[in-house]
Amino acid sequence: MNKENKEEPKKEMAQKEKQENKEFKSEGKLLVKNKSIVVPGQVLAEGFDYLPSYGTYRKEDKIIANKLGLISMEGKVLKSIAMAGRYHPKRYDVIIGRVIDITMTSWRLGINSAYTAMLNSKEAGGNGRGYNSYPQKGNLSKTYKLNDYVFCKVTGVSDMNLVDVTTQGPGLRKLFSGRIIHVNTHKVPRIIGKKGSMVNMIKQATGCKMIVGQNGIVWLQCEPKVEAIAVDAIRKIENESHIPGLTDRIKEFLEKKTGKKIEEFTNEAPKDEENRGN
């Protein structure tokens, strides 16, 4: 008798648990496809089976997008990858900045972000024109003048969004001559490609020197004839990066414009100086 009494409540408990589980599982419902474009306010999923991550939030039992982006699912986690917006500085990013102000001991750089970056005179790697180009006290504009473009690396981003950069390091320098273009920050990984494949293809086809900053500022130095082709190629990548088959299209575009065939290239970066840091 005692045994039965003990077992009965256990059975009941187990049944209850099963029921609860069933109800819980039937709730989850996904309303978007993977890799689709979502906009703020769009309901992505209902129920508690899915988890919100970057660019999404939970409201009661719904997961809603709060940014324009491409949806990316990792298991049950819903994340939206941003497609527009300003650059967020991150440590170790290599970026291109423009000198907008010179203080007693530092340069302030505009970096296409909501905040400006500080380049301390101790972090300056010279302007690439000899020993005397290193900053001396009170004479910072001998190294970098106002409106100079500098290829630099982010050394730290504080909680209050103070961004520190350096120009000491391989490949980091002041940018002479050439042309600067601005692209969407979020398309930079596509312009660079896997291990720099895309940017190397453009370099190979046009013979340009090119630096792509993570902040969406691109520096080009080309022969005048091919400059327009390189810029067009970058714009094409920017506009069509979300449509599959990008590499082939860009290859075709470059071959057509330059009239030269692009050989099977390797992903190894050419050995010139401009590629370091990318």
Q: Which residues are near another protein by CB under 8 A?
A: 37, 39-43, 55, 57, 59, 64, 66-69, 82-86, 114-116, 160-161, 186, 238-240, 242-243
For 128: left if phi > 0, alpha if psi spans -120 to 50, otherwise beta; the answer is left
Smaller CB distance to another protein: residue 110 or 126? 110
Q: Which is nearer to another protein, 214 or 278 (CB)?
A: 214
Shortest Cβ 239–another protein spacing (Å):
4
What's the Cα-to-Cα distance from 266 to each of 11, 15, 196, 211, 253, rounded to whole Å? 65, 62, 10, 19, 19
CB of 56 to another protein, least distance (A): 10
Measured CA to CA, the distance from residue 149 to residue 173 in angstroms comes to: 9
Minimum distance from residue 189 beta carbon to another protein (Å): 16
Closest to 33 measured CA to CA, from 67, 64, 78, 68? 78
Residue placing its CB nearer to another protein in the complex, 100 or 192: 100
CB-nearer residue toward another protein: 42 or 258: 42
Cβ 84 to another protein shortest distance, Å: 3
Compare residues 55 and 213 and give the one whose CB is closer to another protein: 55
Q: Cβ 234 to another protein, closest distance in Å?
A: 13
